[in-house]
Amino acid sequence: MAEPLPQSVLFCCDHNAVRSPMAEGIMKKLYGTDTYVQSAGVMGDMDIDGFSIAVCQEIGVELARHRTRSFDEMEQWGDDLSSFDLVVALSPASQRRALELTRLYHLDVVYWPIMDPTGLGETREAKLNAYRQTRDQIITHLKTRWGEPKEPT
């Protein structure tokens, strides 16, 4: 049985350049703006990944304007971790960091083992297929947790 949507969710991964921005954009597309959705990384040292942009564009999710940020930058920019109802970690490192940062808050941290597609595939098409797998894993986890979107998007 699907859970009700939280009021706010933070997706996190290693660099906020591949998995967490994909999850943020896809969740917004599927479930609309009733839930406040953001993403962050353990580090914010990279730009958004071009293959992530491409595979999300295939399903109508815009990521090209995404600005990567770390947990530290997120808090500097005014998003207090304690204000989120749920943190979804998409990598082991981000799970550890999220648990570390939220140990004083009453807040759920869950881990979704989402494949890191970076470095996979020799050709452009093989790389895109790896990123599509990651995108589709995220969609499956979203729908398993919160059900099918109410309205087709």
Report the range out of 25-29, 46-50, 104-108, 117-121 with the highest average pLDDT. 25-29
Please report whether residue 150 resides in a domain.
Answer: no
Per-residue model confidence (pLDDT) at position 131: 97
pLDDT tens column, 75-108: 787 777 888 999 999 999 999 988 888 887 778 8
- As a whole number of angstroms, the distance between CA 121 and CA 108 comes to 35
Beta bridge partners of 135: none
- As a whole number of angstroms, the distance between CA 83 and CA 135 comes to 27
Report the range out of 22-26, 30-34, 69-73 with the highest average pLDDT. 22-26
Please report whether residue 153 resides in a domain.
Answer: no
As a residue count, the chain comes to 153
Q: For residue 1, what are the contacts with CB-CB under 8 A and spacing of at least 6?
A: none
pLDDT band (50, 70, 90) for residue 153:
very low
Please report whether residue 151 resides in a domain.
Answer: no
pLDDT band (50, 70, 90) for residue 18:
very high
Please report whether residue 64 resides in a domain.
Answer: yes
Please report whether residue 111 resides in a domain.
Answer: yes
Helices (DSSP H) in the chain: which residue ranges?
A: 19-31, 50-57, 71-76, 92-102, 124-146
Mean residue pLDDT across the chain: 91
- As a whole number of angstroms, the distance between CA 35 and CA 27 comes to 9
- The CATH number given to whatever domain includes residue 135 is 3.40.50.2300
Please report whether residue 3 resides in a domain.
Answer: no
pLDDT band (50, 70, 90) for residue 118:
very high
Instruction: Domain count for the chain, please give it.
Output: 1
Per-residue model confidence (pLDDT) at position 151: 63
Token pair belonging to 142: 């979203």
Please report whether residue 47 resides in a domain.
Answer: yes
Per-residue model confidence (pLDDT) at position 7: 94
Residue 9 predicted with pLDDT over 50: yes
**Sign of the CA dihedral with 60 first, then 74, 113, and 145 last:** negative
Residue 135 predicted with pLDDT over 90: yes
Please report whether residue 132 resides in a domain.
Answer: yes
Domain that holds residue 80: 8-145
